[in-house]
Structure 1
């Protein structure tokens, strides 16, 4: 069987195209599976930045580039050694926004439970980013936690922090994310003008953990300010990205040294457990757990999905997310439309 796949690609900032790619089922080797995308979710921070031409995070050629990595697909053919995977199963992978693809068995992140819709499952890795921050923050029952920035990943961090038992306080200037954070269990949500009120509420202990998803230097200073003695700042955002000037010392000793703060970049976990099972909180096991929590209705991704669109409208969705008209969080793409 020959398949004409549609593949989204950014040729340059704001220049999104859908290219055709021929896939020949007969070329499948033993450890490969052929997949048809059902739903893919947009990771706004990564994808919108690429669409708008933000500086790349790594020293690589920025364009042309594929976009997307939250893909739910149905297996439509398997190689001879794909005994773990069967035609008709739904799987989660890092495949980009595309209609069909071939993947190695080892590239499958998780098999999706029957009780979890493809729409819900497509957000699992976005939740994983927040979950990984919580794991690294070592949040304990009753720990005061501040989540700075309530985009989609910040909201997922709020949800995971609350489930871990934290007393969760969030910071945003936008009403829709504020209301969603409260639904997710945040104790209180503050605007950036109300940081003194937040600090008064936290008391002299301040925050045991700060999870920041923001790129703004002004927010970085807030993170340093609200973190308590021996506190930990978990960084999912990219402080200073797109800024030419640093308006203050980001490692000021009155914060970093005096409070003995720990700074940790988060979001990447080991792909698999090791042979001795030392890497218990690895990517694949974490995603399996998140999907199980979705199946139990303990995680409600409907709170972060602003809409479902046909795959052909990806460019328009990027523009909506870029302008933030209506405070959208993220969208999912339907590849059957």
Structure 2
């Protein structure tokens, strides 16, 4: 299928051929008929993409601080690699999509194949959208009219926050697409509406809709206009839909408001607010969040958990339905807003001059031909050689670490898969991978692929590993192996049955720093003590890693690295584990925890995994105590030995073992042999990680069977 993307590195807007997405549980697959170009939002993205690095940095000062902190802890080159890797990721354009449902995911009850729907899908021929972000289009509303649904919901949410009543005077600043729709919905609500803009054509459209619209380009005093219109009272409410960096807009909004007036920001403006302007009138100011309640809440949007209507009357989905209803009953007439309808193939007629366009609404028109979604796209020339790999998952780690390492070792990669298709195609282009696909089962069906690397979200690891083993493939899983003990057991059984290897990406054991310490310890070192500390950094609670059903939490998902490292250094397996976490409700704070480990050979281990430390402090530190010797590794950059004869200080750029791990994995893919980590250690570490969380719940030591 074809999809419009923005290259943030080059600034180019491209119509890319990508694999069509699969329909997911709780979602529908839509064949697009129309999509509306949001000129304001998309213009900002295009201009951001075209700007140089300095300009990009100036626009995101918070990100610059994060980069500087990362340089202090990880070094310059790893940080620059991470930044450029991020810039290499394309941005899907668009969020106003309408079309026909061609597939319905498991658990979807409201929709069926053939339904005409509006959604916040991208500019793509097929989109997969969760049920709560989809609304059915009334029969008397055309696809072109319905393409205004999402934009209309943005304006409607601003109105809901303002909470106007019949007869109130409301000012709309900025008569672009959102502003015009907002103003018309306010009229339908019984308000007296004043609109301001600098474009006469938009002022004319507003006037034709019964709005008192004024062109400010001639120097009209907007504050005085509002005062005269309201007999000196001022506006009851102001909705700002403009996009401008000046602080004058918020200042004028305050000056034109009545005492205890309300101001709602829908657009993007400068926000250097004068306290005096707001203090004297006791004004309220609120920023509107997109389409309405539910936005950016994964439980609502991705998992389909609706908010009860008696308690949350207007969710984003119900806002979509309201806009469609207003179009259907004639209270919102969007036809005069349509400036042009352009075939998708001619997209550059819109994007080529988006910075200077005077269009109000530009609509992309898609082909009506019957099409079957194509989920595999050939990218690189030729075919993979013996021992070819397939990769499932095309995220940051695959881009920044896995593919560069495999390319360096000349390891052929035949497939890369991602659920949406776009990220897979992007990385296939970048690294010369033969095929991009949205269906990882294409990889399993190819006999030439001997090894599959899984780098998806954690809840998919176990089921995908099982499917790979059942298909006769060796498996590398980018930690963790699984989230449940039963999943680990199932994988063990299938690996034995298929006689294929399972390896997890516990890279730190391959670091030259750890190999140097391991060599110094010797084979007969006896029991040792190891203390490992990870200054992991704070991650907001709404990020997927904290979802126990999806990410498994940070102990299972990340601290497993250290459990494996201790298994490697001690040369022994974990026999029991005990974990304690910070706070009165420790089960809710597992990213600030200490783990105690007992090993079969009598060694003792402590892992401190903390998220409340300073970002400027080293992220990782390992201390090993053995036979009156102490070895200390600081952030995988400097390792020193104390009381250890002949142990020279090792200083490198940060090296956590990724390069060596994938070198050995490449050798395994080409030549076979023993897996790069013994399977019994993989299983032991996986179980110990899961049981660490169980021990916290039980408040006791737990044996690792």
TM-score range, shorter chain: 0.7 to 0.9
Match of 2:3 in 1: 7
Match 1:92 to one of 84, 108, 118 = 118
State the shift of 1:88 in Å.
1.3
State the shift of 1:47 in Å.
0.8
Conserved? CA contact 1:140–1:165, under 8 Å: yes
> Residues of 2 paired with 1:138 and 1:186: CA distance?
19
Q: Secondary structure of 2:18's match? A: strand
Match of 2:276 in 1: 254
Q: Secondary structure of 1:23's match? A: coil
Match of 1:161 in 2: 186
State the shift of 1:239 in Å.
1.4
Match of 2:646 in 1: none
> Residues of 1 paired with 2:138 and 2:317: CA distance?
14
Match 1:115 to one of 122, 130, 140 = 140
> Residues of 2 paired with 1:93 and 1:64: CA distance?
21
Describe how 1:93-242 pairs up with structure 2 within 5 A: 93-104=119-130, 106-191=131-216, 193-195=219-221, 196-214=224-242, 215=244, 216-240=246-270
Listed one character per residue, the Cα deviations across residues 138-170 of structure 1 (whole Å, up to 9, x for unaligned) are 111111111111111111111111111111111
Listed one character per residue, the Cα deviations across residues 212-252 of structure 1 (whole Å, up to 9, x for unaligned) are 12223222222122111111111012113xxxxx8xxx322
Match 1:38 to one of 10, 33, 37 = 33
Q: Secondary structure of 1:146's match? A: strand
State the shift of 1:187 in Å.
3.1
Moved more, 71-80 or 133-142: 71-80
Match 1:336 to one of 357, 363, 367 = 367
Match of 1:21 in 2: 18
State the shift of 1:298 in Å.
1.7
Match 2:285 to one of 263, 287, 309 = 263
Instruction: Considering Cα pairs closer than 8 Å and 6+ residues apart, tell me whether 1 or 2 has the greater RCO.
Output: 1
Moved more, 255-264 or 267-276: 267-276
With over 3 angstroms needed to count, the CA separation of the structure-2 counterparts of 1:58 and 1:332, relative to structure 1, is farther
Match of 2:317 in 1: 284
Match of 1:243 in 2: none
> Residues of 2 paired with 1:213 and 1:291: CA distance?
21
Conserved? CA contact 1:304–1:330, under 8 Å: yes
Match of 1:50 in 2: 45
Moved more, 206-215 or 192-201: 192-201
Give me the TM-score of the superposition, normalised by structure 2.
Answer: 0.43
State the shift of 1:28 in Å.
4.6
With over 3 angstroms needed to count, the CA separation of the structure-2 counterparts of 1:282 and 1:71, relative to structure 1, is same
Match of 1:78 in 2: 104
Moved more, 327-336 or 215-224: 215-224
Conserved? CA contact 2:183–2:193, under 8 Å: yes
Q: Secondary structure of 2:101's match? A: strand
> Residues of 2 paired with 1:290 and 1:209: CA distance?
21
With over 3 angstroms needed to count, the CA separation of the structure-2 counterparts of 1:57 and 1:99, relative to structure 1, is farther
> Residues of 1 paired with 2:26 and 2:268: CA distance?
37
Q: How many residues align?
A: 320
> Residues of 2 paired with 1:203 and 1:229: CA distance?
14
More strand by share: 1
Conserved? CA contact 1:148–1:210, under 8 Å: yes
Moved more, 39-48 or 271-280: 271-280
**2:324 aligned with 1:299, yes or no?**
no
> Residues of 2 paired with 1:93 and 1:305: CA distance?
19
State the shift of 1:204 in Å.
2.5
Conserved? CA contact 1:140–1:166, under 8 Å: yes
Question: Which structure 2 segments of 5+ residues have no match?
Answer: 50-55, 64-85, 295-299, 301-305, 369-705
